[in-house]
Amino acid sequence: MQLKTLPSTVAPRHFIDLSALDGRTLRRIVDMAHAMKAAGRRPPKDLTPVDVGEKILIMIFEKPSTRTRVSFDVAMRQLGGQTIGLNDKDTQLGRGEPLSDTAKVLSRYGDAMMLRVNAHATLTELAAHATIPVINGLSELSHPCQIVADVMTFEEARGSITGATVAWAGDGNNVAASWIHAATRLDFRLRLACPPQLNPERAVLEWAKAEGGKIELTDDANAAVAGADCVVTDTWVSMGQADAAKRKQLLGPYAVDERLMRRAKRDAIFMHCLPAYRGHEVAATVIDGPQSVVFDEAENRLHAQKAILAWCLGVG
């Protein structure tokens, strides 16, 4: 009788934060994402993981998702593999089974796991015990898969992001943190305008400073956006945040409207990870206007997920 081969002792390639990758690796993943898009539904042979037909991605969601859930599912299928999608309440995780046990068990069944979690520590704890890659499908601290797609989208519209200027106006949240990681690794300038109460986490800013990142932080949206190649924002109230009224009051002056967009370069693009709330963080005339690339950005989640999965499964 043949038993399932025990997991390999080679360290898995986790994808938890862009800060954990060196610039060359992140560049390679973004280039792979461009190549995946160019190849359409059939990924190029040199970017297709070995034995992918037998590989399974396990997806677990502690928070809602449209883009991340569907794009990972479709990406894995287009690569030739399969997926299992669960909400946390469907699993023993929701009843407090230790993360270390969950990591060891899922490592015996699947070939990678992707989770959207309430607490970033869930990802790091799983990764400490898993023998398969752990992918961050959004935590309260970061959203690295999103920013691979965002960098790719920038480059489709405006060419190489290295040396460009990206402006963020709004909450210094999980998406902003992954932008800070990407700017530092890919060497572009990132100007963030946030109300001081909602600045990015100090640890992320200190990391970027220590790594030589070109990150500027201000409370003045006009100053951040002046001359930028790209303006980005995100919802004022992220999943799991309770203080909606206070946040809306603080973030009002950071709304991206046509007047603010006029301060950027004439051919600047507008990006938003979605879901968006028109009339709050962005005016409908901007997100539905000619400078917006939000639906390319959403589509690019699919191509980026294929690149991330390929890398996690050993390509590149």
Which residues of this protein are in contact with ligand NVA, per CB under 6 A?
138, 173-175, 234-235, 238-239, 273
Q: Which of 27, 67, 185, 301 is catalytic?
A: 301
Nearer to ligand CP, 138 or 176 (CB): 138
CA distances from 87 to 102, 145, 146, 199, 310 (A): 14, 19, 20, 31, 24
| Type of residue found at 162 | T
Question: For residue 292, what are the β-bridge partners?
Answer: 270
Q: In the structure encoding, which two tokens stand for residue 158, read together?
A: 């405006």
| Binding span for ligand CP by CB under 6 A among 4-12, 64-72, 118-126, 216-224 | 64-72
* Residue 50 CB partners (closer than 8 Å, separation 6+): 313, 314
CB neighbourhood size of 223 (10 A): 13
Known active-site residue 312: no
Cα torsion at 20, 54, 128, 174 (round to 10°)?
Answer: 50
Q: Which of 145, 194, 230, 273 is catalytic?
A: 273
Q: Which of 67, 143, 247, 272 is catalytic?
A: 143
Q: Which of 73, 88, 111, 234 is catalytic?
A: 234
Nearest distance in Å: CB 194, ligand NVA: 13
Known active-site residue 247: no
Known active-site residue 27: no
Which of ligand NVA, ligand CP, none binds 238 (CB below 5-8 Å, type-dependent)? ligand NVA
Which of ligand CP, ligand NVA, none binds 14 (CB below 5-8 Å, type-dependent)? none
Cα maximum dimension of the chain: 70
Q: In the structure encoding, which two tokens stand for residue 212, read together?
A: 């030589």
Known active-site residue 273: yes
- Residues belonging to the active site: 116, 143, 146, 234, 273, 301
Note the residues at the interface with ligand CP (CB under 6 A).
65-68, 138, 146, 273-274
